[in-house]
Chains A and B, each alone.
Chain A
Amino acid sequence: MAVYVANGVDDAVGRLAERPGSIVLAGGTDMMVEVNDGALRPLPDADVVVVNRIAELRSWRHDPAAQTVTIGAGVTYTEMLDEPLAGMLPALAEAARTVGSPQIRNAGTLGGNIGTCSPAGDGLPVLAALDASVEVAAAGGRRSVPIGELMLGPKQHALAADELIVSVTLPVIQGWQGYAKVGVRNAMVIAIASTCVVLDTNRRSVAIALGSVGPTVLRATSAEETLAATIDWDEQRVDPAALDELARATSAAAQPIDDHRASAAYRRHAVGVLARRLVARGLATNGERAA
């Protein structure tokens, strides 16, 4: 086995194809935890393909015509906090700021978040709420996968072993978006419940994605539709009673479990509260826009 520092996407996927069983190393913040505790050992006849120095993965670009941003899989959380990226994707920046510590944010990448595919991955509810499209490459070519189809379950995704996550394309929307996350500590904590809300003024649609309350990130579709129909889009206003209904519907969409981090009941409760609070931040209620 070798640690192979790839210099380009083709180089990386070529190596993955050539050496079956090889694994992709991005920021290392998830994989090395498994290596350190002995749960993961690289196979003798396979490689660790290091991708965090591939220029294409380390960059992002804004397409004003398409109104999209494409973020390389190797962009770190720290980089997502920087303007102008943060201004175009504020919910992603908010999520990035909740990831671990500065040390983790300097190493961890958006592609790694997708590759690990934990239901608690902080970037994932944002990608889900924005209907992100994930571009993946293999020796045979590239394809795009909607994020909703990619995430299958806890640490399970729909990518083949020889596929490399290259980038994520997200819409730059008109309207408000935000992310909130509950943990038992005021910093450096894994989400026990998280919520991303996107209010798309142009399309007059609502997206609500929930983390840590199911086998993978969930969309609260029924709550989204009900709320979208209730909002006064012209006035950017919503009836407070609709927010209570939103909390109930969001909680109903959760499929949480009890574990050592929190109870299912609390997780279900928390995503409802977070959805209500986020929407209240984005819209005027009772004539006032929440802080």
Chain B
Amino acid sequence: MTVLDAPSGVRAGTLGDSVLRPDGDAKTQGTFEFSSDLTADGCLFGGTLRSPHPYARILSIDLSGAWQTPGVQAVITADDVPGRRTYGLIVADQPVFATDIVRYVGEPIAAVAADDPETCRRALAAIHVEYEVLTPLLDPEAALDPATALIHPDGNVISSQPVLHGDGNATGDVVVEGTYEIGMQDQAFLGLEAALAVPDPGGRSLEVYVATQWMHEDRRQMADCLGLDPEAIRLVLGGVGGAFGAREDISLQIHTSLLALRLGRPVRMAYDRAESFLGHVHRHPATIWMRHHATADGQLVKVESRMVFDGGAYASTSEAVLLNAVTQAAGPYRCPNAVIEGHAVRTNHLPCGAMRGFGVVQACFAHESQMDKLALACDLDPWEIRLRNAMRTGDRTLTGQVVQNVAPVEECLRETAALPLPDEPVGGQLRADGSTDVMKLPGGAGRTTTTSEVVRGIGWGVSIKNLMYSAGFDDYATARCRLGDGVATLKFATVEVGQGFVTLAGQIARSVLGVDEVVLGRIDTQIGSAGSTSASRQTWMSGGAVAAACRAVRDRLFLHVAEQHGVDPEGLVIDGTDVLDNATGWRIGVADASAGVDIDETVEYHHPATEPLDENGQGDCHVGFVFVAHRAVVDVDPELGLVKVVQLATAQDVGRALNPLSITGQIEGGIAQGLGLAVMEEIVQTDGVIRNGNFTDYLLPTFLDMPDVVATLIEQPDPLAPLGAKGVGEPPTISSTPAIVAAIRDAMRQVDGVGRPLDRVPVRPADICLPATTATAESAS
């Protein structure tokens, strides 16, 4: 895809310019310190013993083997947790270490600190746990049955949420329905979980370096469990190798800290890939029934839906994930009536929580599949039916909330349609010797396919995504700006996971304050919370906080300059290095202008308040919304069921493009994850046991799987957003998945006129070529 050039007239380094990452050189030269690179003098290595059973009673734990292993310094269990023995983002229902019951394969039971990782591994193997294996609860429908025995004191239903809107009895001329399944996706960040905990002398406080998404929330949960005041924990961001939701929950933070405090020595823990699959939450698998009613000409009349999300063993953010799904069940469309019930249930599967798209991914696959069915039933083009229903500013969502943001759904659709289709035929242009480049065909180097065996299809997906946290939660952000010697120093606890806030923060300071030289302070808890790097929220929230802090500093400087030099503060600007009076042309260097005063402002930015839903699921629960359209072109080998995604075209509502290059990266990367869910990524569990917890069998898209991406940014600055900009991280992931699946269905319809339901993602080859059989006997049960 073509990177947009910075708009002319944009000062280098400011908002709108494609400023390069400040950490780019360190990251390309291998000197950037990721959390897994950190160590300390005398550092020990921690490891975790985990349950092999999805549901079992612990009869006894014999730690003697571990203690007797030479080189072992500490062995701890639930008995060694000084504070609260459970934690959780919304409800503290997850044990730090299991006591009497284990509820999923991988649940921590004990931890060991040893001189080196190999000793740690041997010590963990020497711990003997006696279990009484229980029958796991694996069917989410059974979890909803009141007759089913409870697997947790909090119950088997984590959350239920109806959304009843308009006239529940309304019907349409055209009715289509379907049941859709979404498999469990892993965030699969490359930088594995790692933390370093360094206790202070005395053992009542410590410093913890960790790769996370939300420093202050980590600290809150850690303090509870460690029995410490939050102020006794200084959390410092260790370099984060990707997150995508998987670092929003606690993983090894508490275990590492417990060991370090216990020993009075630094301890580091680092997961390997297999443990990572067990040690963080995943995207919820879901089963979603939907029935759409529409007029004969394709206007939506009503959406009915029943959604069941499998939360796995512990609650994590299931309640919020479900809220997103039910409230956005109709997608980015006007729909006057809705009857929706949603449930997030507890099972003995791996716990699920946040992943990019957060509930909307699941809902979107269902509603977009339905829109295609509706288009067929109404004899409309899939694009046309979406256009006819496209939401606009001022429309109401299913919860009755008026959409006050810019809502350029129609523009997204039109601009996507205007993007060129692939200029190459199936298999690409023949090479000089007349041969085909097999890498451009489904199956790639496997040479399964020739051009004549391939059919091309096109599909659409459009989505809405709420920005920020919802339902009354005040996820404010804090930022500090200090001006000294002509240099702006910014401080915030906004976690950089790779998305580029460290780049953006400097741009904001250069634009808002006007000073070119910007230094970033360490990202840690020595300032107020920035909230989580999730929910596409940091550009808006932390961006808003940095802008406000910079504005406060600028205003104070101007007042100071006005007092000192007798100029009108209203006429002053900063042009990079100097304070300039536009009226007179008078100027003074920023360093001189601020000499002798300490201008240091800390600001909290709060978004407008939201409210929880009422008993009918009505209310102004979301802060704001963002929109996107995707068009996928895929080549399918119908006989083998193999797919090559050829092109993804997209137009995305960004509000204002603050860093076009950075947005491009978010769009392309997000689409890669949407593609993964569409055709290859799924955690498979059999009888509650993960079967593919490694990168040999959990397949991520490679360079050869990713298509060309062509993108247009829809720039309509949002008056509600502090910088006019909306978050851009999640939308690319959400509707790329249904667009790809729709394109496969389109290709298959061309083959036999009927097509395939393909009502489950990821689509497996057998779903395409052997629709009568199940694709794997071991479907995720």
Q: Do chains A and B touch in the complex (CB under 8 A)?
A: yes
Pairwise interchain contact A266-B766, C-beta atoms closer than 8 A: yes
Pairwise interchain contact A262-B765, C-beta atoms closer than 8 A: yes
Pairwise interchain contact B639-A290, C-beta atoms closer than 8 A: no
Instruction: Tell whether A264 is near chain B: CB-to-CB under 8 Å.
Output: yes
- Kindly state the separation between the CA atoms of A38 and B121 in the bound complex, as whole angstroms: 8
Residues of chain A with a CB closer than 8 A to B443's CB: 180-183, 186
Q: Which of B305-313, B410-418, B566-574, B689-697 contacts A (4 or more CB under 8 A)?
A: B689-697
- Kindly state the separation between the CA atoms of A179 and B446 in the bound complex, as whole angstroms: 8
15 contacts between A and B (CB under 8 A): A179-B447, A182-B640, A182-B642, A184-B699, A185-B444, A186-B439, A187-B444, A191-B446, A260-B778, A261-B697, A262-B764, A265-B770, A270-B765, A277-B448, A291-B450
Kindly report which residue of chain B lies nearest to residue A258, judged by CB atoms.
Answer: B777
Residues of chain A with a CB closer than 8 A to B703's CB: 187
- Kindly state the separation between the CA atoms of A188 and B447 in the bound complex, as whole angstroms: 13
Q: How far is the CB of A201 from chain B (nearest CB, A)?
A: 21
- Kindly state the separation between the CA atoms of A219 and B439 in the bound complex, as whole angstroms: 28
Fill in one digit per residue for A252-291: 1 if any B CB lies within 8 Å of its CB, else 0. 0000001111111110011001100100010000000011
State whether A263 and B450 are in contact (beta carbons under 8 Å apart), knowing that A185-B702, A186-B444, A187-B445 are contacts in the complex: no
Pairwise interchain contact B769-A263, C-beta atoms closer than 8 A: no
Instruction: Tell whether B680 is near chain A: CB-to-CB under 8 Å.
Output: yes
Within 8 Å by CB of A291, from B436, B639, B701, lies B436
Q: How far is the CB of A74 from chain B (nearest CB, A)?
A: 23
Q: How far is the CB of A271 from chain B (nearest CB, A)?
A: 11
Instruction: Tell whether B684 is near chain A: CB-to-CB under 8 Å.
Output: yes
Within 8 Å by CB of B450, from A181, A188, A191, A290, lies A290
- Kindly state the separation between the CA atoms of A190 and B730 in the bound complex, as whole angstroms: 31
16 other A-B residue contacts (CB within 8 Å) besides A182-B765, A186-B705, A260-B684: A178-B447, A181-B443, A181-B446, A182-B443, A182-B642, A185-B444, A185-B704, A190-B697, A194-B446, A259-B776, A263-B766, A263-B775, A265-B770, A266-B765, A273-B639, A291-B450
Instruction: Tell whether B2 is near chain A: CB-to-CB under 8 Å.
Output: no
Kindly report which residue of chain B lies nearest to residue A264, judged by CB atoms.
Answer: B777
Instruction: Tell whether B644 is near chain A: CB-to-CB under 8 Å.
Output: yes
Instruction: Tell whether B564 is near chain A: CB-to-CB under 8 Å.
Output: no
Fill in one digit per residue for A77-90: 1 if any B CB lies within 8 Å of its CB, else 0. 00000000000000
Residues of chain B with a CB closer than 8 A to A277's CB: 448-450, 453
Within 8 Å by CB of B445, from A37, A98, A262, lies A98
Instruction: Tell whether A97 is near chain B: CB-to-CB under 8 Å.
Output: yes
Ordered nearest first, which 3 A-B pairs have the shortest CB separation? A258-B777, A186-B444, A260-B691
- Kindly state the separation between the CA atoms of A260 and B680 in the bound complex, as whole angstroms: 12
* Chain A residues with a Cβ closer than 8 Å to the other chain, count: 39
Pairwise interchain contact A186-B770, C-beta atoms closer than 8 A: no
Residues of chain B with a CB closer than 8 A to A190's CB: 696-697
Interface residues, chain A, with chain B CB atoms under 8 Å away: 33, 36-38, 94, 97-98, 178-191, 194, 258-266, 269-270, 273-274, 277, 281, 290-291
Within 8 Å by CB of B446, from A37, A183, A259, lies A183
Kindly report which residue of chain A lies nearest to residue B699, judged by CB atoms.
Answer: A185
Residues of chain B with a CB closer than 8 A to A265's CB: 766, 770, 773
Within 8 Å by CB of A182, from B274, B448, B691, B697, lies B448
Residues of chain B with a CB closer than 8 A to A94's CB: 447
Q: Chain A CB within 10 Å — which of B450, B679, B696, B776 has the most? A: B776
Pairwise interchain contact A266-B775, C-beta atoms closer than 8 A: yes
Within 8 A of A (CB), among B39-96: none
Residues of chain A with a CB closer than 8 A to B404's CB: none
Interface residues, chain B, with chain A CB atoms under 8 Å away: 121, 272, 274, 436, 439, 442-453, 639-642, 644, 679-680, 684, 686, 691-692, 696-697, 699, 701-705, 764-766, 769-770, 773-778
Q: Chain A CB within 10 Å — which of B443, B446, B448, B692 has the most? A: B446
Pairwise interchain contact A263-B447, C-beta atoms closer than 8 A: no
- Kindly state the separation between the CA atoms of A120 and B773 in the bound complex, as whole angstroms: 23
Pairwise interchain contact A185-B640, C-beta atoms closer than 8 A: no
Kindly report which residue of chain A lies nearest to residue B685, judged by CB atoms.
Answer: A260
Residues of chain A with a CB closer than 8 A to B450's CB: 277, 281, 290-291
Within 8 Å by CB of A263, from B272, B686, B702, B776, lies B776
Residues of chain B with a CB closer than 8 A to A187's CB: 439, 444-445, 702-705
Pairwise interchain contact A188-B770, C-beta atoms closer than 8 A: no
Q: How far is the CB of A282 from chain B (nearest CB, A)?
A: 12
Residues of chain A with a CB closer than 8 A to B121's CB: 38
Q: Chain B CB within 10 Å — which of A186, A194, A277, A281 has the most? A: A186
Pairwise interchain contact B778-A258, C-beta atoms closer than 8 A: yes
Within 8 Å by CB of B701, from A182, A185, A269, lies A185
Q: How far is the CB of B633 from chain A (nearest CB, A)?
A: 15
- Kindly state the separation between the CA atoms of A2 and B704 in the bound complex, as whole angstroms: 40
Q: How far is the CB of A26 from chain B (nearest CB, A)?
A: 19
Pairwise interchain contact A262-B444, C-beta atoms closer than 8 A: no
Residues of chain A with a CB closer than 8 A to B777's CB: 258, 263-264
Pairwise interchain contact A180-B770, C-beta atoms closer than 8 A: no
- Kindly state the separation between the CA atoms of A181 and B680 in the bound complex, as whole angstroms: 17
Residues of chain B with a CB closer than 8 A to A273's CB: 639-640
Pairwise interchain contact A180-B448, C-beta atoms closer than 8 A: yes
Q: How far is the CB of B222 from chain A (nearest CB, A)?
A: 29
Pairwise interchain contact B451-A185, C-beta atoms closer than 8 A: no
Residues of chain A with a CB closer than 8 A to B691's CB: 259-260
Within 8 Å by CB of B640, from A186, A264, A270, lies A270
Residues of chain B with a CB closer than 8 A to A264's CB: 777
State whether A269 and B770 are in contact (beta carbons under 8 Å apart), knowing that A185-B702, A260-B686, A260-B692 are contacts in the complex: yes
Q: How far is the CB of B351 from chain A (nearest CB, A)?
A: 20
Residues of chain A with a CB closer than 8 A to B444's CB: 185-187
Within 8 Å by CB of B448, from A188, A269, A274, A291, lies A274
Q: How far is the CB of B437 from chain A (nearest CB, A)?
A: 12
Pairwise interchain contact A262-B447, C-beta atoms closer than 8 A: no
Q: How far is the CB of B697 from chain A (nearest CB, A)?
A: 6
Kindly report which residue of chain B lies nearest to residue A94, judged by CB atoms.
Answer: B447
- Kindly state the separation between the CA atoms of A187 and B705 in the bound complex, as whole angstroms: 7
Pairwise interchain contact A269-B769, C-beta atoms closer than 8 A: yes
- Kindly state the separation between the CA atoms of A194 and B443 in the bound complex, as whole angstroms: 12
Pairwise interchain contact A98-B446, C-beta atoms closer than 8 A: yes
Q: How far is the CB of A177 from chain B (nearest CB, A)?
A: 12
Pairwise interchain contact A262-B776, C-beta atoms closer than 8 A: yes
Residues of chain B with a CB closer than 8 A to A33's CB: 696
Residues of chain B with a CB closer than 8 A to A191's CB: 446
Q: How far is the CB of B427 from chain A (nearest CB, A)?
A: 9
Kindly report which residue of chain A lies nearest to residue B453, judged by CB atoms.
Answer: A277
Q: How far is the CB of B722 from chain A (nearest CB, A)?
A: 42
Residues of chain A with a CB closer than 8 A to B446's CB: 98, 180-183, 189, 191, 194
- Kindly state the separation between the CA atoms of A188 and B680 in the bound complex, as whole angstroms: 13
Pairwise interchain contact A186-B447, C-beta atoms closer than 8 A: no
Residues of chain A with a CB closer than 8 A to B770's CB: 265-266, 269
- Kindly state the separation between the CA atoms of A112 and B395 in the bound complex, as whole angstroms: 64
Kindly report which residue of chain A lies nearest to residue B122, judged by CB atoms.
Answer: A38
